[in-house]
Structure 1
Amino acid sequence: MDLELQKFKADFFKALAHPLRIRILELLSEGDKNVNELQTLIGAEGSSVSQQLSVLRAKNIVYGTKEGNRVLYSLRDPMIIDLLQIARQIFNNHLIDAITMLDKFNGDGGKDEEVQN
């Protein structure tokens, strides 16, 4: 059972492992959108947005609802929003650690403003 759960988690994170898919999820966390809206907001080709939505649909991360001749995409689980926020916090923590390390390496706490000739 644990191996199945670990495989599910690995497959889930693989589905998230693309910058365009992350951006799509961030936009869908603001509300449901169709491909044209996503394409406009992202500034990417419609085919690449559709391709990434297909991956997210296959992993049950998003779903589409037909509205006339358009499909409106939504997050399957609102906890994806929390996951994206936590990932951002982890990134910020790593960034803060890197800045602190650079400040220590420079030995000036980042306050060295002298220009050397």
Structure 2
Amino acid sequence: MAVPLYQAKAEFFRTLGHPVRIRVLELLQDGPRPVRDLLSAIEVEPSNLSQQLAVLRRTQLVTATREGNTVVYALSTPDVADLLRAARRILTEMITDQEALLAELREPDHQAHRA
């Protein structure tokens, strides 16, 4: 029996639900990078990075190629970068809305009653 689309989407977003995975994807937006570069940029234990890279490989969000002794990771599709940019736009809008609400809340009480 096929998995419903909404369930597949939920699994997809769960995959993105880890800060190290998001950071890896962000770093790979600029092009392929060897593991050592990812490790120095993210500053996590090598075993943790390896574990998160394995999840990203299994879900086919990244590809891995071996160049000699080095493994180089890349985004599997430019759509991943598009998704990260969309998330940034959404977060920016959310924060902007929150700032507007916060400014309104900070107004003296007499001004707030006019709205």
| TM-score of the superposed pair, with normalisation by structure 1 | 0.86
The gaps in structure 2 that reach 5 residues or longer are 109-115
CA distance, structure 1, for counterparts of residue 82 and residue 48 of structure 2 = 25
- Please provide the CA RMSD for this pair: 1.6
Q: What's the counterpart of residue 64 of structure 1?
A: 64
Output the amino acid matched with 1:66: R
Give the drift of 1:68: 0.8
Q: What's the counterpart of residue 91 of structure 1?
A: 91
Where do residues 1-117 of structure 1 align in structure 2 (5 Å cutoff)?
Answer: 4-107=4-107
**Contact 1:35 / 1:46 at 8 angstroms: preserved in 2?**
no
Q: Which runs of 4+ in 1 moved over 4 A?
A: none
**Contact 1:39 / 1:46 at 8 angstroms: preserved in 2?**
yes
Number of equivalenced pairs:
108
Give the drift of 1:3: 5.0
**Contact 1:61 / 1:75 at 8 angstroms: preserved in 2?**
yes
SS in 2 for 1:71: strand
Output the amino acid matched with 2:44: A
**Deviation sequence 1:4-44 (CA, Å, 0-9, x none):** 32222111111100111000000011111121110001122
| TM-score of the superposed pair, with normalisation by structure 2 | 0.87
**Contact 1:26 / 1:81 at 8 angstroms: preserved in 2?**
yes
The gaps in structure 1 that reach 5 residues or longer are 109-117
